[in-house]
Chains A and B, each alone.
Chain A
Amino acid sequence: MRYNWLKLLKEGFNNNSGWEKTWKNPELKKEYDIIIIGGGGHGLATAFYLAKEFNIKNIAVLEKKWIGGGNVGRNRGGNVGRNTTIIRSNYLLNENEAFYEFSLKLWESLEKQINYNAMVSQRGVLNVYHSDSQRDSFTRRGNSMIINGADAELYDVNKIKLLYPFLDFDNARFPIKGGLFQKRGGTVRHDAVAWGYAHAADQLGVDIIQNCEVENFKFKLGACIGVETNKGFIKANKVGCAVAGSTSLLMSKANMNLPIESHVLQAFVSESLKPIIPGVITFGAGHFYISQSDKGGLVFGGDIDGYNSYAQRGGMETLEDVCEGGLALMPIISKTRLLRMWGGVMDMSMDGSPIIDKTHINGLYMNAGWCYGGFKATPASGWCFAHLLAKGYSHALSKNYRLDRFKNGYMIDEKGQGAQPNLH
């Protein structure tokens, strides 16, 4: 079924009785060319691009619970990186910036590609700065973005006052001096990303199998030949893992220790308010980022809690820290009441950058280490992982996201923090 306005009109007159399922509930086959473990944003995107761009049709996505129920569903999509359903490409290092700019370009044409309304809204992302040295580093980052084909503008304080007159410009400790603005950045409806990719992949013949938990890999002569699940053994030529915070647990079944720690990241939503924040704003002196959803809730977040966790919930001390940052930036929200808060499990890598690579085992591939920045990367991650699975070698844009870069000294450390995952 394709969604279009004619269908919408027809169903409007038809008491909405003719809508088909967005994706089917297919019978599990005994054998697939490629199995993707993890029915989140990245796994579903991978399956879609495998079918669409690389013309492989015999694919299954195995999800232990329901699709889009992990980080992409709790987006800030968990994997949302400094983002609360935010998309942007404002990185400094070339290895990252080119990749994320490719992702942003894919976001721009996503809805046509998947025939699904993902509410992609390029409302602009503003990072404010508070000092001369911070201005210089933001200028450098902006230049790096432009060199890599992205858009970036340095805003002075007067321009920001036109956009967001309510910010605390004269804050005694952190006065706002200006900001780095990416106009093409914005927000996306996170659930619709999972559902849209599932819909599109399903249309192309991908089997999306829910409630199917992978319990073990099966190896033969040192190669991965399939997976053992709660629904029995499934044979596959290639197995790709895209399970975010559970990566270490899954790969331990292949006796792999990874350069990853799982940490909890919280997100917060306020009660619905009249529109006040047209775009996305991030605070430069602490860690706080905020946007307003179409339903009116202020969606905001900050740092990860900072300790290993698989609990999908965090502590009050982080809430306090986030709110302090928010009030320093925009005292206008001080009376806003919090409606909901939740946590997701992030796969924090040792240098803060992701891994899209083969493993040392033939036929076993992994896509992980997205820290809390995976949401915006969803399309490019899916595309590059599909490329790797289909062709057996890395896409040019993800060739630096190697698993062995930690051993060989080619870290991609955007923040320069070293091997300390809770600081990335």
Chain B
Amino acid sequence: MSAEHDHIALANVNNDALDHLLRDYEQFPEWIATVAFYKAVQIAEAVFAHDLSKHSMGHDDRRKTLQMERYRQLHRDYVPLLTASRIARYLEDRESGTTVSTFRQWRSPEIVRDELVMKRLRRFEQNCLPFLSDAAKNQLKKR
């Protein structure tokens, strides 16, 4: 299998995990945000493999590639997915008494499901399709 298809296969595993988590979306918004981002990571890598024959060396390298003009629409949804996953994983401050001390205080589980997954991730997938091979387009499990 090509690198493109390997990344699509991993994206599909993340998609299955997302389906599982979304059944109980009120309990796992942080993990939904994180898995949604990692699905986007794998799709972006599939795009790079097919479109540029490139493999990213980490998050910053991937983000830099997405700053290329041809990927403008991908960048616009990828960065918010990355930001959400970072805040989901690192914002935890229940002792200071501030208004927003956890990810789910900032984004309700409904917003994570409807805005992050059903809007951002879905749009990211749709915008990636023109950069994938026909076989990968068919293989990808879409939101």
- The answer to whether A and B assemble together is no
On A, residues with C-beta under 8 Å from B are none
